[in-house]
Amino acid sequence: MEHWQAMLATVTFVSVILLIMTEWIHLTIAAFLGALVLVFTNVMTLTDAVGYISKSYPTLALFFGVMVMVRAFEPTRVFEYLATQIVILARGRGNRLLLGVVAITTPICAVLPNATTVMLLAPLIPPIAEEVGVDFVPLLILMVLVANSAGLLTLVGDPATYIVGEAINISFIDYLWRLSLGGALAILTIVLMLPFLFPHIWRTRLSNLDQLPHPQINHPRVLAIGLIIVVAVLLFFVVGEFMPIPIPPAAAALMGAALAMLLAHHSNIDTVNHILRDVDWSTLLFFMCIFVLIGGLEKTGVIASSSSWLAIVLGSNIVLGSIVLLVLTGLISSVVPNIPLVVAMVPLLKQYIVNVGLASPEVMNANFEGTLPETVLPLFYAMMFGATLGGNGTLVGASANIVAAGISELHGKRIPFGLFLRYGFPVMLMQLLAATLYLVIRFLI
């Protein structure tokens, strides 16, 4: 691959991130134009671009399916009803409401992908905020920060943890024993910061709960059937891939979407055209274009060539290397989505430990089923923590962030890059510090 193509792919990617950060143009338009620049300059063909999108079809299909399901059940007013009940349970107190968002999001994100959880829960936030009399954007940001952090609680809580865990062949139980406490510390960090991050909401008190609107559930029979569909989809998310005939989460989400549209259309609560019109297409297009931009870096060898400087940065000291890798991965993950980042970093890190003589070359085999030496595992743990928690740093750091931004726009408000940065970056820094201390105390001393 020619040097100018690698340079152009890098400049294009960095330019897109800068355009998003400065908010000169909409983030979807920035990513769309960036992807087309790579095609029109022949860095990749249109067929190549579509190929990189198709490699990520499970993510796109999962997002589309959940979006359709959520939209199909809006006419039942179930989201307004649940929002009112949450405000009543919080007794109109802002501090309890913030803690409630943490409490609801954390256990769900321990077993479901964080972006999926945000899509399911985020529609509750705008009506809750309206009833309490606060801005819903900070609450959405809080949900995202918790969702990204709670993914560290289990091996399946975040795609990044699963990808790294599979690379080092760690079992679900071993993960719980070794690393779940680190995820719990990440959640605790957010809880301790709540009064300082959201002081206005924390001090809010709703004096008269009797004046709250009391929305009624519309079409209760339709909703009852819909709940069966949703529960079945969630069940397949957890156990589908372990069945005799594996059913991936993307297929379960698409089946749920088809059944939800069938139910909504034939019960006359909405039409298929209305449901599909309201799908957040801009978010889906953004993800497609990001996959193309990352593909450009991969195709031109930018990612692969990074292996040479990895050895220089990390050296041969595992303790220092783990700390540097955690911080470095966290900072990179704040501007590069963590899924493509860890996909690229895993083989680089394996090559590094082979090059410095810490592991045998057989670990590079795609079908390697053995265990890595205990001495090098902290490096992979560091990458896992950094890639996951780094997603809290900026608006483009994780898929859940983009999903929340799309939902916010559907409810009439943008999440500015600078506003997310004001909340997310301090949280990311404190979480990276907590993760570093945990890693050092638990594995390196």
pLDDT in tens, 350-370: 877 877 777 777 776 656 667
- Position 38 scores a pLDDT of 94
More confident residue, 337 or 200: 200
Q: In this structure, what DSSP letter does residue 101 have?
A: H
Q: Does residue 440 belong to any structural domain of this protein? A: no
pLDDT above 80 for 325:
yes
Q: Where are the beta strands (DSSP E) in 290-385?
A: none
**Spatial distance between the Cα atoms of 424 and 145, rounded to a whole number of angstroms:** 7
- Position 431 scores a pLDDT of 96
**pLDDT (average), residues 166-183:** 84
Q: Does residue 250 belong to any structural domain of this protein? A: yes
Q: Does residue 40 belong to any structural domain of this protein? A: no
pLDDT above 90 for 432:
yes
**Spatial distance between the Cα atoms of 275 and 267, rounded to a whole number of angstroms:** 14
Span 55-110, pLDDT tens digits: 777 778 877 888 888 888 888 877 777 767 777 777 778 888 898 889 888 887 87
- Position 115 scores a pLDDT of 78
**What is the residue range of 214's domain?**
59-157+172-281
Span 267-313, pLDDT tens digits: 988 899 988 988 888 878 888 898 898 888 878 877 667 656 766 77
Of 96-110, 201-215, 334-348, 395-409, give the lowest mean pLDDT range.
201-215
Q: Rounding to the nearest 10 degrees, give the CA dihedral for residues 66, 70, 71, 76.
A: 160
Name the 3-class secondary structure at 205: strand
- Position 27 scores a pLDDT of 82
Q: Does residue 396 belong to any structural domain of this protein? A: no
Instruction: Using CB atoms within 10 Å of the CB of residue 207, give its burial: 0 to 12 exposed, 13 to 18 middle, 19+ buried.
Output: exposed
Span 117-136, pLDDT tens digits: 787 788 888 888 887 788 89
pLDDT above 60 for 1:
no
- Position 187 scores a pLDDT of 96
Q: Does residue 243 belong to any structural domain of this protein? A: yes
Confidence category of residue 340, pLDDT binned at 50, 70, 90:
low
**pLDDT (average), residues 236-263:** 85
Phi-psi region of 426 (alpha: psi -120 to 50; beta: other; left: phi over 0): alpha
- Position 39 scores a pLDDT of 93
Span 382-391, pLDDT tens digits: 999 999 999 9
pLDDT above 60 for 138:
yes
- Position 262 scores a pLDDT of 94
User: Under a CB-based contact definition with an 8 Å cutoff, are residues 359 and 374 in contact?
Assistant: no
User: Under a CB-based contact definition with an 8 Å cutoff, are residues 239 and 255 in contact?
Assistant: no
pLDDT above 90 for 142:
yes
Give the chain's mean pLDDT: 84
- What share of the chain has pLDDT > 70, as a percent? 92
**pLDDT (average), residues 413-420:** 91
Q: Looking at the 3D structure of the chain, how many domains does it have?
A: 1
- Position 214 scores a pLDDT of 67
The token duo for 111 is 């077993």
Span 206-233, pLDDT tens digits: 766 566 566 677 888 888 998 899 888 8
Q: Does residue 182 belong to any structural domain of this protein? A: yes
Q: Does residue 239 belong to any structural domain of this protein? A: yes
Q: In this structure, what DSSP letter does residue 217 have?
A: P
Q: What is the pTM of this model?
A: 0.78
For 129-132, which contacts have Cβ atoms below 8 Å and span 24 or more sequence positions? 131/83, 131/84, 131/87, 131/206, 131/212, 131/213, 132/87, 132/92, 132/94, 132/97, 132/201, 132/204, 132/206
- Position 209 scores a pLDDT of 59
- Position 258 scores a pLDDT of 94
Rounded to whole angstroms, what are the CA distances from 233 to 107, 148, 178, 250? 17, 21, 30, 10
Q: Which amino acid is at 41?
A: T
- Position 108 scores a pLDDT of 79
pLDDT above 70 for 7:
yes
Confidence category of residue 141, pLDDT binned at 50, 70, 90:
very high
Confidence category of residue 372, pLDDT binned at 50, 70, 90:
confident
- Position 306 scores a pLDDT of 65
**Spatial distance between the Cα atoms of 74 and 57, rounded to a whole number of angstroms:** 26
Q: Does residue 198 belong to any structural domain of this protein? A: yes
